[in-house]
Amino acid sequence: MHGSRTTGSPYAPHTDDETAAMLEELGADSVDDLFDIPTAVRFDDEFGIEARTEREARALVESILESNDDLTELLGRGHYGYYVPSLVDHLADRSEYLTSYTQYQPEVSQGFLQALFEYQSMLVELTGLEIANCSMYDAATALGEAATLADRLRHTSGHRVLVPDLLLEGRRSTLENYVAGTELVVEEYPTEDAAVDVDALTDRVDEDVVMVYAENPTVRGTIEENLAAIGELADDADALFVLGSDPVALSLLQRPADVGADVVVGDASVLGLPTSYGMGLGLFATREAYLRQVPGRLVGVSEDATDRRAFTLTLQTREQHIRRERATSNICTNQAWVALRTAMHVACLGASGLVDLAKRDVTRAEELARRVDEIVGVKAPVHDRRHFREFVAHVDQPAQAVADDLEERGFAVHVVGEHEIQLCIAGVSDATLDEFVEVFEEVAP
């Protein structure tokens, strides 16, 4: 039965004897005979990739990544490195979760389906909207999907999508790619002191607008004060009001349902993932009225043959594998495992833990702004508004030089203008913030 393993892939379990017996069964002389590839397109060269032992492969990755500097990141602007409890890593890494596929056979996938159902429920609670899907790729692609949803719902009434001029380039550009196949046109509306300029927006909203997008908090960390007014403007024009946010902010700031939001998008992986070079989890919640037009997977409740409650993927006739070119989205592989991690992180925090975290995001950002404002050559915050998690500071010195000096001393910050840097407290300890202020005092003047 056993014998020496064939060399080659370390994860192919075949012994030489087994391979020979299987080939004999097939009447083939060698594995090569099984490849039905015309000679003209056969690859008879090598990739030039050396095979390595596990230890060597691991050492290679370690040695490459070793050249990354170990910096304390006061970075945010759409990606946040909150501390993730160990429980999340240990439980999400259980191999049943990690090595399963999309739940096409719900009878052997109950656990994952229930966890995703719980994730959807958490988003429903956080947004106040009736339904949430169980993931998009990230905030930018979720925004793109919101626009195509608006197009499906309102394509006869108009073609303009309004976004704030402060929108991150990666989001704006992704949105442009998503609407490239539609008649939609993306237009900017102005912000004033890092908040929506409602008068200017009013001038731009008319019957031709199908979607108005705003963010809370904004990319500059300010808390938007006019959400209800924006929601009304959108509603009057029969446009969808799409709000960008995230689970931490949503646990404290105005509830989207209460300000007239029709869709909430954003990055849910602020909880569940460490900074992972931009990897995310697209949050997508909306009203029940749009259920049949929603993109992405939905987990619903049903019963099994013994009448017990059971979970299953549902409304799959919206999806690409059934509806093909008439699907509501082309998404197939999504971010399910990240959604599991996010749900676990939310569960670890609980309602009070989550609200406390959000409150501290306000107090600690405002406290850091006060402290750096006392430094000679620094004014903070630049915007005279309430802040969440991050803020912009004016520096008298060229911002890039300040950032370079800070980086020399172990701190990464954003440069957002010639004399403006942005600082974020998410995931940074109080002790580290103390160190940062000391270093900043030396660098800024």
Partner 1 sequence: MTREGTRYDQARWTNDGQYEPLLSEKDRTRVEIDGDDSPLPDELTRDALELPELSEPELARHYTRLSQMVYGIDSGPYPLGSCTMKYNPKFTEDVAALPSAAVHPDRSAASIQGTLELMYRLQDYLGRIGGMDAVTLQPPAGAAGEFVGVRVAAAYHEHNGEGHRDEVIIPESAHGTNFATAALAGYDVVSMPSDDEGRVDLEALEAALSSNTAALMLTNPNTLGLFERDIIEIAEMVHDVGGLLYYDGANLNALLGRARPGDMGFDVMHYNVHKTFATPHGGGGPGAGPVGVAEELEPFLPSPRVRETGDDSENAYELFEPEHTIGHVHGFQGNWLVLVKTFAYIARLGDEGLTDASAKAVLNANYLASQIEYDVPYGPFHHEFVASAGDQDAADVAKRMLDYGVHPPTTKWPEIVPEALMTEPTEVESRETLDQLAAAFNAVVDEDDETLEAAPSRTSARRIDQTSAARNPRLSWHALEEETATDSSRTP
Using CB under 8 A as the binding rule, the residues of this chain from 313 to 342 that contact partner 1 are: 314-317, 319-327, 329-338, 340
Residue where the block lists tokens 């993931």 = 135
| Chain residues 171-190 in contact with partner 1, contact rule CB under 8 A | 171, 173-174, 176-178, 180-182
**Max Cα distance, the chain (Å):** 83
| Chain residues 53-82 in contact with partner 1, contact rule CB under 8 A | 53-54, 57-58, 60-62, 64-71, 73, 75, 77-79, 81
| Chain residues 132-171 in contact with partner 1, contact rule CB under 8 A | 132, 135, 137-141, 148, 168-171
User: Which residue, among 377, 368, 372, has the nearest Cα to 396 in the 3D structure?
Assistant: 377
Among 3, 8, 398, 445, binds partner 1 (CB under 8 A): 8
| Dihedral in degrees, nearest 10, Cα atoms 290, 295, 297, 299 | -10
Among 3, 16, 29, 51, binds partner 1 (CB under 8 A): 51
Rank residues 200 and 291 by Cβ distance to partner 1 and give the closer one.
291
Indicate the pairing of strand 414-417 with strand 420-424: antiparallel
| Chain residues 81-110 in contact with partner 1, contact rule CB under 8 A | 81, 85, 87, 89, 91, 93-110
Rank residues 182 and 397 by Cβ distance to partner 1 and give the closer one.
182
Tokens for 137, please give them: 């790729």
Q: Does 3 sit near partner 1 (CB under 8 A)?
A: no
Rank residues 127 and 237 by Cβ distance to partner 1 and give the closer one.
127
Helix (H) or strand (E) holding 309: strand 309-314
List beta partners, residue 263: 242, 286
Rank residues 255 and 394 by Cβ distance to partner 1 and give the closer one.
255
* DSSP code for 222: B
Among 240, 242, 347, 369, binds partner 1 (CB under 8 A): 347
Residue span binding partner 1 (CB under 8 A) among the ranges 114-122, 185-193, 370-378, 430-438: 114-122
Instruction: Lay out the site mask for partner 1 across 239-278 (x = CB under 8 A, - = otherwise).
Output: -----------xxxxxx--x--------x------xxxxx
Contact at 8 Å (CB) between 234 and 257? no
How many Å separate Cα 24 from the centre of its chain? 51
Q: Does 19 sit near partner 1 (CB under 8 A)?
A: yes
Residue 384 CB-density burial (10 A; 0-12 exposed, 13-18 middle, 19+ buried):
exposed
Sign of CA dihedral 230, 235, 240, 243: positive
